[in-house]
A and B are shown apart, each in its own frame.
Chain A
Amino acid sequence: MKPDLMPNNQKQTAPKTKQKAKKKRSDRSLGYMLIAPSMILILIIAIWPVFQSFYYSMFDLRLNNPVKSEAYVSYKVNLQTYLDNYPFLISSLEDEVDQATGKTKTELEAIKANLEKVDAELKADGELSSKYDEIDEKLTVMEPISEELAISDLDKEVALDLEKAVTDSSERLRELKGELQNPEDVIGLSASLKDSVITPNFIGLKHYKENLTDSRMWKAIQNTTVFTVISVFAELVIGLAIALLINKAFFGRGLVRATILIPWAIPTAVSAFMWKYLYDGQNGIVAKAFAEIGLFDQMTDMLTTSTGAMFAVIFADVWKTTPYMALLLLAGLQTIPSSLYEAAAIDGASKWKQFLKITLPLLKSSILVALLFRTLDAFRVFDLIYVLTGGGPANSTETISILAYKVMFAQTNFGEGSALSVIVFVCVAIISMIYIKFLGRDLLNDR
């Protein structure tokens, strides 16, 4: 081999591979650039909230309670609340001291001294002290105070002292109620003063422990499972039957397809209200029809008994989503070549055998995908039940999403509600994992 050929050879191949590598690299960087906006949005708006829900679920978080309205991991003091009450409490106490006699007087003086002592402790911290003055000034001129300024971190010891002092004074003043001139004033002020101390509301996994031993939660899981299993099964069977029947050329195909789509397209909340009208105990035509054929003893049973209500909810869901299921399965059916059936017919296979040996195996992945989406949708069910029954009667149709919503927004207990929503999330994750195990990588088929 001549040595001078080597560089020549390299010269010829190097630019080509370089070009290829360069193209690959540019493809890659362009690819990442194009998916970046979507990924960032999904991370912020969908994935972060799930983690944050889990974080919230470990706190005693109550939006309507000022000392528990956020997740606090450390001791804090709300100086605004403090200064809104403390000066007035002290001056009211002074008035009381002036008018009291004997034992009450010494008792009141002790309370006052105790409060003043912790007040001095608060002001001993340089940063806190300057905030203290700033807020005090703003309060006198009635300027609005930002939350950042109002709430500051507090040393654990000072916080505990402060908490003890305000709780003690509040208790002792209540005991002295009979001896005081204006008991409402001092007792009210000392009670409000308690709201200025913010103790950490981290409670670990307590919400989970409580939920997992709560019969209402298990009832909700049970309701959700019953609803999901029955409705999805009925939708699959009826949907498959419809798909098989309309899988042929016929007049008015487009029109039938459009009719099928309407229940799917209408907002669930609206269709739920429509069914509520049809199920009504006095003037609901469907309730009357079901009562006439003997499904219920009385028309009113439909929405006032637990089995009636569960049946009503499942029936409405089957009506709304069976057509959708049928469409998905129909699309799957149309990919099965008719030559297979012809060959089977020549071999003398019966229709039923053809269905078992050709249709079902070839439709397997379509069925599984449809089942996956439907099961997850049914498990998350919210609007249909919220509008149709509200979870009633007597929580008999309360699903886990409805329960989580009620705990969060009706009881404003965000900590416990978040724990419930994490439980929903875990259930959904488990269900999808089971399906994906069956489906394998089919779902993400690359090309």
Chain B
Amino acid sequence: MNKKAGPMFYVFLTLFVFLVMFPFLWVLASSIKPVAELFGDRAFIPFTNNMTGENYESVFVNYPFLKYLWNSLVVSSITTVYAVLVASFAAYAIARLNFKGKTVILGLVLSVSMFPQIATISPIYIVLKNLGLTNSYLGLIIPYTTFTLPLSIWLLVTFFRKIPFDLEEAAKMDGASPMQTYWRVILPLAIPGIFTTAILVFISAWNEFLFALTINTDDEFKTVPVGIAMFEGQFTIPWGEVTAATVIVTVPLVIMVLLFQRRIVSGLTSGAVKE
């Protein structure tokens, strides 16, 4: 940590950041070119003299892209709220209470989070189809529990464990019931951890592809990742629209990541690092 960074280091760093960001920058440059300049000789020149917004316009006019965004937002938000709420009870119990079988339960949660989605898809698809829930929001929110709930429990347990135990003892001494202790003492202290968990759960739900691809096939209920993947026409790919849509999806993520990078990193690395 106390090593000094030299000028060579910054050269390397800039190069590294440029390489990581290059695909985005190129796509951003392509998205504002007129379609004709995406092909032929001009395809490899990043700058254009005829800057245009037609690709962006087309994404919203010729494709139900706004609908996709809305669907993704609804599904991911509801999934996040309900998964984090249900998980917070379980995580509190595992982190703070003393009862048999805790380790087994945590092990179970961890192994469920490792389940390949493809192994659960056929029964889930058939059940949802029989219940008439394919092509609905609920049809995605329900199966999203398979990965969001274990993820939330796993993260929240590590956050709850970091809260000092003395506070709880003090609350108990003052005669607070376990539920009161949870709501009044633990929860306010756990808010940052819960928020971090919510961000990570939201991103994982927003990015989900396999369930969204198989369960919601109707344009009315498609989410963004599937919607963009289906931009592909039968013979040609509308690169102009694809690049524009990619930029539209990436920009809010960039803002979110810039705002919350500290939290996201702490969430990603908690549980993975032994202290």
Which residues of chain A from 387 to 417 have a CB within 8 Å of any chain B CB?
Answer: 387, 401, 404-405, 408-409, 414, 417
A159: which B residues are within 8 A, CB to CB? none
Listed in ascending order, the chain A residues whose CB lies under 8 Å from chain B are 24, 26-28, 30-32, 34-35, 37-39, 41-42, 45-50, 52-53, 56, 63, 242, 245-252, 254, 256-263, 265-278, 280, 282-283, 285-286, 288, 319, 323-324, 327-328, 331-332, 334-335, 338, 365-366, 369-370, 373, 376, 379-380, 382-383, 386-387, 401, 404-405, 408-409, 414, 417-418, 420-422, 424-425, 428, 432, 442-447
Contact B118 A270 (CB under 8 A): no
The DSSP consensus for interface residues of chain B is helix
Contact A42 B149 (CB under 8 A): yes
Q: How far is the CB of B267 from chain A (nearest CB, A)?
A: 11
Which of A35, A251, A271, A432 has a CB less than 8 Å from the CB of B114? A432
B239 at the interface (CB under 8 A from A): yes
Q: Which residue of B lies closest to A26 (CB)?
A: B178
Which of A50, A265, A270, A276 has a CB less than 8 Å from the CB of B256? A265
Q: Which residue of B lies closest to A28 (CB)?
A: B99
Q: Which residue of A lies closest to B112 (CB)?
A: A46
Contact A270 B274 (CB under 8 A): no
Render B220-235 as a binary contact track against A, CB cut-off 8 A, 1 for contact. Answer: 0000111011010000
B94 at the interface (CB under 8 A from A): yes
A41: which B residues are within 8 A, CB to CB? 86, 145, 149
A50: which B residues are within 8 A, CB to CB? 115, 119-120
Q: How large is the interface on B (under 10, 10 to 19, 20 to 34, 35 or more residues)?
A: 35 or more
- A252 to B16 alpha-carbon distance, docked (Å): 13
* A–B pairs, 12, beta carbons within 8 Å: A30-B97, A38-B86, A41-B145, A45-B146, A248-B9, A250-B9, A256-B17, A269-B229, A327-B265, A405-B210, A408-B122, A446-B102
A446: which B residues are within 8 A, CB to CB? 102-103
Q: How far is the CB of A441 from chain B (nearest CB, A)?
A: 8
- A227 to B214 alpha-carbon distance, docked (Å): 24
Contact B39 A282 (CB under 8 A): yes
B20 at the interface (CB under 8 A from A): yes
Apart from A49-B121, A401-B118, A444-B107, what 15 extra A-B contacts exist at CB < 8 Å?
Answer: A28-B99, A41-B86, A249-B5, A254-B262, A267-B207, A270-B246, A276-B237, A283-B39, A286-B23, A328-B268, A365-B274, A383-B229, A386-B229, A405-B214, A409-B214
Q: Which residue of A lies closest to B212 (CB)?
A: A269
A247: which B residues are within 8 A, CB to CB? 1, 3
The DSSP consensus for interface residues of chain A is helix
Render B164-177 as a binary contact track against A, CB cut-off 8 A, 1 for contact. Answer: 00000000000000
Q: How far is the CB of A52 from chain B (nearest CB, A)?
A: 4
Given contacts A34-B89, A48-B123, A380-B117, contact A269 B23 (CB under 8 A): no
Contact B123 A53 (CB under 8 A): yes
Q: Which residue of B lies closest to A418 (CB)?
A: B122
Contact B90 A270 (CB under 8 A): no
Q: Which residue of B lies closest to A334 (CB)?
A: B1
B111 at the interface (CB under 8 A from A): yes
B108 at the interface (CB under 8 A from A): yes
Contact A269 B209 (CB under 8 A): yes
Pick out which of these stretches binds chain A: B54-62, B189-197, B247-255.
B247-255
B116 at the interface (CB under 8 A from A): yes
Contact A35 B242 (CB under 8 A): no
Contact B150 A42 (CB under 8 A): yes
B110: which A residues are within 8 A, CB to CB? 443-444
A48: which B residues are within 8 A, CB to CB? 123
- A110 to B10 alpha-carbon distance, docked (Å): 93
B93: which A residues are within 8 A, CB to CB? 30-32, 34-35
Q: Which residue of B lies closest to A242 (CB)?
A: B16
Q: How far is the CB of B11 from chain A (nearest CB, A)?
A: 12
Which residues of chain B from 84 to 137 have a CB within 8 Å of any chain A CB?
Answer: 86-87, 89-90, 92-94, 97-100, 102-103, 105-112, 114-124, 126
Contact A288 B44 (CB under 8 A): yes
Which of B16, B87, B102, B117 has a CB less than 8 Å from the CB of A382? B117
Which of A319, A366, A414, A447 has a CB less than 8 Å from the CB of B272? A366
Most buried by A among B4, B87, B207: B207
Q: How far is the CB of A211 from chain B (nearest CB, A)?
A: 14
Contact A35 B90 (CB under 8 A): yes
B90: which A residues are within 8 A, CB to CB? 34-35, 37-39
- A447 to B162 alpha-carbon distance, docked (Å): 9
Contact A335 B273 (CB under 8 A): yes
Contact A382 B120 (CB under 8 A): no
Q: Which residue of A lies closest to B43 (CB)?
A: A283
- A26 to B172 alpha-carbon distance, docked (Å): 13
B239: which A residues are within 8 A, CB to CB? 277, 280, 283
- A205 to B31 alpha-carbon distance, docked (Å): 52
B123: which A residues are within 8 A, CB to CB? 48-49, 52-53, 56
Most buried by B among A31, A256, A338: A31
Given contacts A283-B239, A328-B273, A446-B103, contact A46 B115 (CB under 8 A): yes
B159 at the interface (CB under 8 A from A): no
Contact A35 B105 (CB under 8 A): yes
Q: Which residue of A lies closest to B87 (CB)?
A: A38
Q: Which residue of B lies closest to A32 (CB)?
A: B99
Contact A45 B253 (CB under 8 A): no
- A338 to B2 alpha-carbon distance, docked (Å): 8
Render B199-223 as a binary contact track against A, CB cut-off 8 A, 1 for contact. Answer: 0000100110110011000000000
Q: How far is the CB of B211 from chain A (nearest CB, A)?
A: 11
Q: Which residue of B lies closest to A271 (CB)?
A: B23
Contact B178 A319 (CB under 8 A): no
B92: which A residues are within 8 A, CB to CB? 34
Contact A258 B273 (CB under 8 A): no
- A46 to B229 alpha-carbon distance, docked (Å): 26
